[in-house]
Amino acid sequence: MNLAEMSWSRAEKALAETDLALVPVGAVEVYGRHLPLGADGFCAQGVSQRLAERVPAVVTPLVPVGCSEALMSFPGTLTVSSAALKAYLSDMCDSLATWGIKRILFMNGHAGNVPAIGEICREFIAKGINCAQVDWWRSVYKAAPDVPESGALANGHAGEVGTSVLMAVRGDLVDPDEMVKEMPKLGLIADYPEVMQYHVTYREITASGVIGDPTVATREKGEAMINQFLDRLEAFLAEWQ
């Protein structure tokens, strides 16, 4: 049900059968040495495709680059401004509305994109289009809290949760030989959490780009977490009319 893979005539038929669009949004940023820079987007896209196998929905092409300014201390990271991301996504959603889409669910794979997508959702709701977003990494961990085993940092950057999910979605892109366990070097951030600090680069917190322990990740854990969360999303969409 990916729009980009359809002819216009197939798209016309698909759009006549559903009013729901899934919009995967990712990032191109450091995600450890063992995972690709595009991990967030690959997961958002893969999970969107799996959800569309369960419910009537069209899936838009992945929007690959998000707001990753905070991670620019690592080579290869790409970022766009929040305003640019919002403008691009808003225009794309206007196109979806033209073709009869009434519900838009953003499958967002990167925390830095949350504010821009939240603004879009509120604006389109005011236009009569129902919009919501899934903050994927925060959501999948909460949906299956008993699956990870590495403790408080299981959902750390490129840790057990992220690595397990990518193993399930795009295992061909995971390099087990490059996995390292790394705890964050937090310093003043840990000592004074009440102060929002902006001068510390991500590379000062972690040398590898990992926070947590990806070495205990497995494809089976990833599949279990994905399936449990998709069960919740399927139930939500049945009521979200």
Structure confidence at residue 188 as a pLDDT band (50, 70, 90): confident
DSSP state of 147: S
Domain membership flag for residue 240? no
Q: Which of 190, 196, 209 is nearest to 27 (CA)?
A: 209
Determine contact, residues 114/108, Cβ cutoff 8 Å: yes
The CATH number covering residue 95 comes to 3.40.50.10310
Q: Which residues contact 206 (CB under 8 A, 6 or more apart)?
A: 157, 182, 184, 185
Enter the tokens of residue 205.
């917190």
Domain membership flag for residue 37? yes
Q: Position 196: which residue type? A: M
Determine contact, residues 113/66, Cβ cutoff 8 Å: yes
For the chain, where are the alpha helices, taking DSSP H only?
8-17, 39-52, 82-98, 114-126, 136-143, 160-170, 188-191, 202-205, 219-239
- Long-range CB pairs of 183-190 (<8 Å, 24+ gap) are 183/153, 183/211, 183/212, 184/153, 184/156, 184/211
Q: Domain count of the chain?
A: 1
Domain membership flag for residue 224? yes
Report the mean per-residue pLDDT for the chain: 95
Give the domain extent around 171. Answer: 3-235
- The whole-number average pLDDT for the span 222-232 is 96
* pLDDT (tens digit per residue) in 82-115: 999 999 999 999 999 999 999 999 999 999 999 9
Q: Report the sign of the C-alpha dihedral through residues 160, 235, 118, 60, in that order.
A: positive
Is the pLDDT score of 200 beyond 90? no
Q: Position 72: which residue type? A: M
Domain membership flag for residue 186? yes
Domain membership flag for residue 137? yes
- The whole-number average pLDDT for the span 42-57 is 97
- pLDDT at position 196 is 76
Query: H or E segment at 105?
Result: strand 103-108
* pLDDT (tens digit per residue) in 140-154: 988 888 999 999 899
Domain membership flag for residue 241? no
Structure confidence at residue 216 as a pLDDT band (50, 70, 90): very high
- The whole-number average pLDDT for the span 212-227 is 97
pTM here is 0.94
Is the pLDDT score of 1 beyond 80? no
Domain membership flag for residue 174? yes
